[in-house]
Amino acid sequence: MNKMFLEPSVRLDDDNDALILLDQTLLPAEKRFISLTDRKGIWEAICRLKVRGAPAIGIAAAYGAYLGVKNSRAADGEALLKEFLPVKDYLAGSRPTAVNLFWALDRMERRLRAEIMRPPGEIKAALREEAETIRDEDEEVCRTLGENGLTLLEKGWGLLTHCNAGTIATARYGTATAPIYLGHQRGYDFKVYADETRPLLQGARLTAWELMEAGIDVTLICDNMASIVMKQGKVQAVVVGCDRVAANGDSANKIGTSGVAILAKHYGIPFYVFAPLSTVDLSCATGEDIVIEERNPEEVTEMWYAGRMAPADVKVYNPAFDVTDAGLITAIVTEKGIARHPYTEALKAFF
């Protein structure tokens, strides 16, 4: 492993029947790995963002589905399936927006059904293999995203990113950060501007932390500073990840992303969305069909403060995501190539 990459943020400890996660809620103050051995703990970790990032959520869910039936005493495949389905449905309820969660769980179910006539022990081994394959494939997908994305960027550019689409949100490399890591290895000398990303501060706590750990030149800015760094010519491209891409190219990502896209359009700066094909949902016609998760008001009013910073009982609207219109997106970078307008045709061709 290249020394600039962190330990995997999601891995299986099969000997101890556990899912090991880097608790991202504790960063950057504390780097702690937690061991989860039951589906309730895994559900909570996904819901409470201890593990976050669409690919990492999918990997965690796949391991969780395997662990949920690993110690089953089911006599045959049909009985094992009956135990698996409630585990799958329970884990699927942890987050409503990240399509990788459902994609990974559906893939695990398909593998079980494909192996259903085999002895239960062999089916469990197949489920473990499938989960590991999902993880391994994600690492390769992210590397390819980086290679494709790097063709759009030039040495010495300033890059702005929002939220965290980094290595800790994936198996390795990240999605939007993949070309940054590859460029760092190859002497591109990128200057990265990381939006803090209110209200959960993924840019401040996570992106800034992991890029600094890798020795990459990163500058943290408040979300409302994106306009001035663009106007001053410090940013030549915006690179962001996403949690779901609709068939027409509308893309859901962390709240605030659409505002960055509007600014980039105004200043004539290319806006690139990095999307593994597992994140593209062709059954979702437009962004209007994407369910937007609303989170606890305390994230806005008091979570990161020594005391409450808003009037008691004030109404709070706290959507976790917004949808960037396809018309604001210069290109969507996938592992199979770079999609450009019209996205309905371009994305469909990759499948």
- From start to end of the chain, where are the E strands? 10-13, 18-22, 33-36, 158-161, 191-195, 218-221, 237-240, 244-246, 251-254, 271-274, 280-281, 321-324, 331-334, 337-339
Of 243, 250, 281, 322, the catalytic one is 243
Strands 244-246 and 251-254: antiparallel
Taking the CA of residue 243 as centre, how many other CA atoms within 13 Å lie in the half-sphere pointing to its CB? 26
* Structural domains of the chain, with CATH: 10-140 (1.20.120.420), 143-349 (3.40.50.10470)
The pairing of beta strand 280-281 with beta strand 244-246:
parallel
> What is the model's pLDDT at position 3?
52
Cα–Cα distance list, 18 to 72, 100, 233 (Å):
15, 21, 48
pLDDT given at position 100:
87
Judged on CB neighbours under 10 Å (0-12, 13-18, 19+), 57 is buried
Q: Is 220 helix (H, G, I), strand (E, B) or coil?
A: strand
Residue 217 annotated in active site: no
pLDDT in 10s for each residue of the chain, 351 residues: 345 667 899 999 999 999 999 999 999 999 999 999 999 999 999 999 899 988 899 999 999 999 999 999 999 999 999 999 999 999 999 987 778 899 999 999 999 999 999 999 999 999 999 999 999 999 999 999 999 999 999 999 999 999 999 999 999 999 999 999 999 999 999 999 999 999 999 999 999 999 999 999 999 999 999 999 999 999 999 999 998 999 999 999 999 999 999 999 999 999 999 999 988 999 999 999 999 999 999 999 999 899 999 999 999 999 999 999 999 999 999 999 999 999 999 999 999
Question: H-helix or E-strand containing 91?
Answer: helix 77-92
According to the 3-state scheme, what is the secondary structure of 253-270? EECCHHHHHHHHHHHCCC
Say what the pTM is: 0.88
pLDDT, residue 135, reads: 97
Residue 224's pLDDT is what? 97
| Tokens 């094992």, residue located | 80
